[in-house]
Amino acid sequence: MCQAFSWIGALLEVRLGWIAFPVREFPRATDLGVTTEFFFYPLCCALYFIFEPRRTRLMRGLYLLIWAFGLAMLDGLLSNYTDLLEYGRYAWYWSALDIALIFAVSNVYTRWFFKSSAMRSERRMPP
């Protein structure tokens, strides 16, 4: 789920000229950086979801902010020191907001999807 949201968000950001990926793995296929948008961010989203604390909402919110700002700092480093990412009319705080929103929506959707009793292994009937 996270991969779909990050892909759609990055496509929109590239089309609006907010970010650019000058060095791409598949320049004829897509304007996006495949490694970050299709592999790295979804992997981080999965790790975020697996290790999310189940305590209070405050702890979960702080955990989300740590992940979002940590990945936004990585985006800023990629933008400043490599040619993998260039910010147009975009800044690190927009990146943090984007990542936090993607992680939160993916988390809510995943929790909703697996809440269904049909998806719980202990309640499924054998075929």
pLDDT digits (tens, 9 = 90+) for 29-58: 777 777 888 888 889 999 999 888 888 889
- Beta-carbon neighbour count of residue 20 at 10 Å? 18
pLDDT at 65: 95
pLDDT at 2: 82
Take residue 46 and report the two structure tokens written for it: 């999965």
Take residue 61 and report the two structure tokens written for it: 């919110």
pLDDT at 104: 92
pLDDT at 58: 92
SS3 103: helix
What interhelical angle do 41-50 and 92-115 show, nearest 10?
A: 50
The parts of the chain modelled with pLDDT lower than 50 are none
Give strand ranges (E) for 3-66.
19-20
Report pTM: 0.81
The label of the residue with tokens 């147009």 reads 88
